[in-house]
Chain A
Amino acid sequence: MTEKNISTHQDAEVHVVKPPVYFAIFFALLVLTALTTGISFIDLGVFNAVIALAIACLKASLVVLFFMHIHYSSRLLKLTVAAGLFTFMLLISLTMTDYISRAWGMF
């Protein structure tokens, strides 16, 4: 059975991603890793962490969207991923309510 047959046969269930897409994403991840390394040699003050984290988030999104097939998946699966991200956001933002305001009125 050729690759084309598989993809038409199971289109609703499984989306077959072509190798070039995987290579492109892999290449993008390598470039972003190099970028992180390169930028760490330049001192950007408070933006050091911001940029490093932004690149890391971008890389994670690429992995989730393409390597984990979420880009091609049903809305229910996208919602599942969104639920995880939402929970993570709650964890960070509500914890930050403590860290941001812990010293208020103390100095």
Chain B
Amino acid sequence: MSTIVSLPDQSTAKLPSKSYLNQEYGLKSWLLTGDHKRIAMLYLFSITFFFIIGGVLAGLIRLELLTPPADLMATDTYNKVFSMHGIIMVFLFLVPSVPATIGNFLIPLMVGARDLAFPKINLLSWYLYWIGGIFILSAMVLGGVDTGWTFTTPLSTHYVNTHVVTAAMGIFMAGFSSIFTGLNFIVTIHRMRCPGMTWFRLPLFVWGHYATSIIMILGTPVLAITLVLVALERIFNIGVFDPTKGGDPLLFQHLFWFYSHPAVYIMILPGMAVISEVISTFSRKRVFGYTAVAFSSVAIAVFGFLVWEHHMFIMGVSQYSALVFSLMTMLVAVPSAIKIFNWSMTLYKGSITFETPMLYAFGFIGLFTIGGLTGIFLATLGMDIHLTETYFVVAHFHFVMVGGMLMAYMAGIHFWWPKMTGRMYPEAMSKTAAVITFIGFIVTFFPQFILGYLGMPRRYAAYPADFQVLNVFSTAGASILGIGYLLPLLYLPWSLIYGQIAGNNPWQATGLEWQIQSPPLTENFTEIPIMDHEAYDYEWLANKTHHEVQTVG
């Protein structure tokens, strides 16, 4: 059952006199802070910076592909551009996007704690992120890397003379930054839940981040070791990946995808976590099948480790092994479908309103479903041989990563922006941005499915003239998409000064984070709350005036 909740009158809302934003002033108070909310803001600025760089590189790729010949840039420059686009977007934007910004900000608030378990490690993770980022940027400035973001051997170890080692070290550092974030989340969720906050009263956002953290901790070290091996192979010729010395180039891909496939779930699970919150809030209903959604996150994390070889079906791996991995890949569809169906059931008979975060969430559900289902095409052995290494794959993972994760990230930022800053953004403008993003996305990436099916390979600067019409569509769509992302970059900073004051709970959401002032105090809660109701209890919220939140001193 949904509960009708009337949104509060914002004209009476006032900014609190004290908050984490004005507790202290000056650069030092930010750069040496242990406050999870300030670190989240540091991360927000940092990943936005790298998103802009990655986005400009994407623009260059689409511009080059506007015409069939390689005319805008030299072909090896093109290789460097798409490699850098991949490396920056995956390791410096998507992996930290939701966990390090929104997750960092909200996990302590949602479990009723004053901070994460290890505030200094949290700050260290941001510094490691920047060290990694600087390494990757220097690899780009010094002349680039042209291996693609996958560093595939023997190309990366024996054939290219670009800055592979520099970029690999950058990713190594960024990897440790994400391990630290995961470690902090796991310890916080285990040890710092407030009284009454049982595992099954946790918001699904926290479950999603718990599952993500498990992958971060168990998977990322393998990536780190693999990249060190690539560096050792290049510098000292140790021969692990060199067949002439008894090594195997495919071993690299086994190790790399052992991390990088679960990393896909590092990138999507926090997005799903955001969607659970947004869908529930704007349907005013408890998430349908709460337990199933919670465990599906953990199931995705576990299954994610069993499927990596589907990236290697045509690389010369054993056919029998490929058969096993193809079957196991299909398994991941089950928990993903559980989530999609449960969100749809949450909408059923809810009192739905269409605020900006909800529009982005609808975008997520549609686009992620297409992205996920096309993944099944690629998991199917016979179909994969035709489709792999074509634009079909590019379209598939952009539907999941951009259509899925980026939509969810935007939903999350718009949903919690009032909590983070205390101010509202212009709603008409943000709704327009959400719609523009959706249209731009479809126009950009849908033609790529067709291009891939027709056989246009990925990672080439030139293509036959027959493919031009669809490529023009795609490039045109990319410029629409660009506007969709540019708008929030303009109105969100604008709202910091001119935005309406949001008040504590502008959406009438039930989470603990909405029951405190916006922006929160540095210590989050003046008194540690006691959780006496389930997550998403809108009845409780409606009756809140009758029984206030109980607290202990």
Contact = CB atoms under 8 A, between A and B. Distances in A.
Counting contact residues on chain A (CB < 8 A from B), the size range is 10 to 19
Dominant SS among interface residues on chain A: helix
Interface stretch (B14-22, B315-323, B536-544): B315-323
Interface in A84-107: 84, 87, 90-91, 94-95, 97-104
Contacts of B64: none
A83 interface: yes
A90 B254 CA distance: 12
B379 to A, nearest CB: 15
B218 interface: yes
Contacts of A90: 305-306
Nearest to A103: B318
Interface string B199-217: 0000000000000001000
Given A76-B190, A98-B254, A101-B318, A84 B309 contact: no
Given A76-B190, A104-B318, A104-B320, A98 B218 contact: no
Interface string B298-336: 000000011011000000111111001100000000000
B306 A91 contact: no
A94 B306 contact: yes
A94 B308 CA distance: 9
B318 A98 contact: yes
B250 interface: yes
Contacts of B251: 95
A37 B373 CA distance: 55
A96 B320 CA distance: 11
A95 B322 CA distance: 11
B318 A97 contact: yes
B321 A102 contact: yes
B318 A102 contact: yes
Contact of A97 (B214, B305, B321): B321
A97 to B, nearest CB: 4
B5 interface: no
A90 B309 CA distance: 12
Given A76-B190, A91-B222, A91-B258, A97 B306 contact: no
Contact of B309 (A94, A100, A104): A94
B141 to A, nearest CB: 35
Contact of A98 (B190, B255, B305, B309): B309
Contacts, number: 43
A7 B63 CA distance: 68
Interface in B176-190: 190
B218 A87 contact: yes
Contacts of A100: 318
A87 B309 contact: no
A95 B305 CA distance: 12
Interface in B415-441: none
Nearest to B215: A87
Contacts of A97: 318, 320-321, 324-325
Contacts of B320: 97, 101, 104
A83 B298 CA distance: 13
Contacts of B214: 83
Contacts of B219: 87
B317 A83 contact: no
A76 B189 CA distance: 13
Interface string B227-248: 0000000000000000000000
Contacts of B190: 76
Contacts of A104: 318, 320
A64 to B, nearest CB: 15
A66 to B, nearest CB: 23
Contacts of A98: 250, 254, 309, 317-318, 321
A87 B215 CA distance: 10
Contacts of A101: 318-321
B233 to A, nearest CB: 18
A95 B218 contact: no
B254 A87 contact: no
Nearest to A86: B218
Interface string B246-274: 00001100110010000000000000000
B167 to A, nearest CB: 24
Nearest to B305: A90
15 contacts: A83-B214, A90-B306, A91-B222, A91-B258, A94-B309, A94-B325, A97-B325, A98-B309, A98-B317, A98-B318, A98-B321, A99-B318, A101-B318, A102-B317, A102-B321
Interface of A: 76, 83-84, 87, 90-91, 94-95, 97-104
Given A90-B306, A91-B255, 9 more contacts: A90-B305, A91-B222, A94-B309, A97-B320, A97-B321, A98-B317, A98-B321, A104-B318, A104-B320
Interface of B: 190, 214, 218-219, 222, 250-251, 254-255, 258, 305-306, 308-309, 316-321, 324-325
